[in-house]
Amino acid sequence: MTAKILAATATFGLFPDFAEAARKDKDKDKKKKSKKSKEFEMPPLVDFKTLDELEIGKVNLDFTSDMDVREGTGAVVIHHAGLSKDVDIDVPSIHDMHLGNGWAGIGYHFVVHKDGFIEQARPLKYVGAHAYQNNKYTVGICMTGNYNLAYPPFEQAFAVEQLTAALCKNYKIKPSDCTIFGHRDLNDTSCPGDKFYPYLPQLIKNVKKVL
Ligand SMILES: [Zn+2]
């Protein structure tokens, strides 16, 4: 990296790793985009809650190795759990699966359940393991369920919007399609599902409205 780019990164908070990946994948995304349906709409966000005001469950998890501290936060990445069935899953189970991958522990920072309950997963200050080559400056949110198979429940979609809005406020992130990503915007994956991904622009709009 040249000194010039380093200086730009320091001054403007540019994050070359994910910005570049996002640009590269833009065209590819268009092909992957699936259509909206009348069966589902993103719920409007009526109120705004800060991270401190949101009810966020805490689970005690043991992480097996040291994790790097995230130096900044420029974007939010939304995932689905994407198991073979569209079911809820608890945080310790995802933690165990990710330990099985040889990771320090659960890779997402938050898990949002189908009933709208939000749980803290990997501590927010650490670099996650959820979007290959795009973890350094991002926060990862996982929605339980498989949204290639079904639409998310209202409560869950609402909670994801609330959490995304709170994170944007907390980290002074301007909501846009360059700061709020579905996992497929950054890596070659169907995550967060064909039935949910087309609603991300609506989510971004709703988040913008309450900030
Ligand atoms: Zn994902």
Mean of the per-residue pLDDT values of the chain: 88
What is the pLDDT, as a whole number, of residue 53? 98
In tens, the pLDDT along 6-24 reads: 433 333 344 444 544 554 5
Question: What is the 104 CA–ligand 1 centroid distance (Å)?
Answer: 17
Question: What is the 177 CA–ligand 1 centroid distance (Å)?
Answer: 16
Question: What is the 107 CA–ligand 1 centroid distance (Å)?
Answer: 10
Question: Do the Cβ atoms of 200 and 81 come closer than 8 Å?
Answer: no
Question: What is the 149 CA–ligand 1 centroid distance (Å)?
Answer: 15
187 vs 183: CA distance, rounded Å: 6
Question: What is the 185 CA–ligand 1 centroid distance (Å)?
Answer: 10
Picking from 131, 134, 130, the residue whose alpha carbon sits closest to that of residue 20 is 134
Picking from 70, 125, 67, 120, the residue whose alpha carbon sits closest to that of residue 92 is 120
User: Exposed (0-12), middle (13-18) or buried (19+): which is 9, by Cβ within 10 Å?
Assistant: middle
Question: What is the 11 CA–ligand 1 centroid distance (Å)?
Answer: 30
What is the pLDDT, as a whole number, of residue 35? 74
What is the pLDDT, as a whole number, of residue 9? 38
Question: What is the 65 CA–ligand 1 centroid distance (Å)?
Answer: 22
- This prediction has a pTM of 0.85
What is the pLDDT, as a whole number, of residue 10? 39
Question: What is the 132 CA–ligand 1 centroid distance (Å)?
Answer: 10
Q: What distances in angstroms separate CA 154 from CA 45, 138, 207, one per listed residue?
A: 11, 25, 16
What is the pLDDT, as a whole number, of residue 75? 98
Cis peptide before 175 (omega within 30 of 0): no
- 58 DSSP β-pair partners: 120
Give all domains of the chain, ordered by start, each with its CATH number.
54-210 (3.40.80.10)
In tens, the pLDDT along 93-126 reads: 999 999 999 999 999 999 999 999 999 999 999 9
* 3 state DSSP class of 119: strand
